[in-house]
Amino acid sequence: MSSARKTKTPVELATEFVTDSIDTAKATFGGEAGPAKESVEALSASAKVYQERLADLQAKSLSYFEANTKALLGFWREAASVKSPEALFALQQGFFKSQSEVALKQFQDLNDATVALVREASAPVQDGLKKSFAAFPFPKAA
- Which pLDDT score, from 0 to 100, does residue 92 have? 96
| C-alpha distance from residue 65 to each of 1, 46, 132 (Å) | 96, 28, 43
More confident residue, 2 or 37: 37
DSSP string, 87-129: HHHHHHHHHHHHHHHHHHHHHHHHHHHHHHHHHHHHHHHHHHH
The answer to whether residue 105 is domain-embedded is: yes
pLDDT at 80: 94
- Which domain does 78 fall in, by range? 45-134
Which pLDDT belongs to residue 40? 74
pLDDT tens digits along 70-116: 999 999 999 999 999 999 999 999 999 999 999 999 999 999 999 98
Q: Is residue 140 assigned to a domain?
A: no
Amino acid, single-letter form, for residue 12: E
Q: What is the pLDDT of residues 103-140, one digit of tens each?
A: 999 999 999 999 988 888 888 877 777 776 666 666 66
Number of folded domains that form the chain: 1
pLDDT in tens, 33-71: 566 677 777 778 888 888 888 888 899 999 999 999 999
- pLDDT of the residue at 120: 87
Residue 73 lies in a domain: yes
Q: What is the pLDDT of residue 138?
A: 62
pLDDT of 32 over the 60 cut:
no
90 inside domain: yes
What's the predicted TM-score (pTM) here? Answer: 0.61
Please give the helix or strand (H or E) that residue 142 lies within, else none: none
Query: Rounded to whole angstroms, how far apart are CA atoms 64 and 128?
Result: 36
Amino acid letter at 50?
Answer: Y
- Identify whether 63 is part of a domain: yes
Residue 117 is assigned to a structural domain of this protein: yes
**Within a domain: residue 40?**
no
pLDDT at residue number 17: 79
**Is the residue at 142 inside a domain?**
no
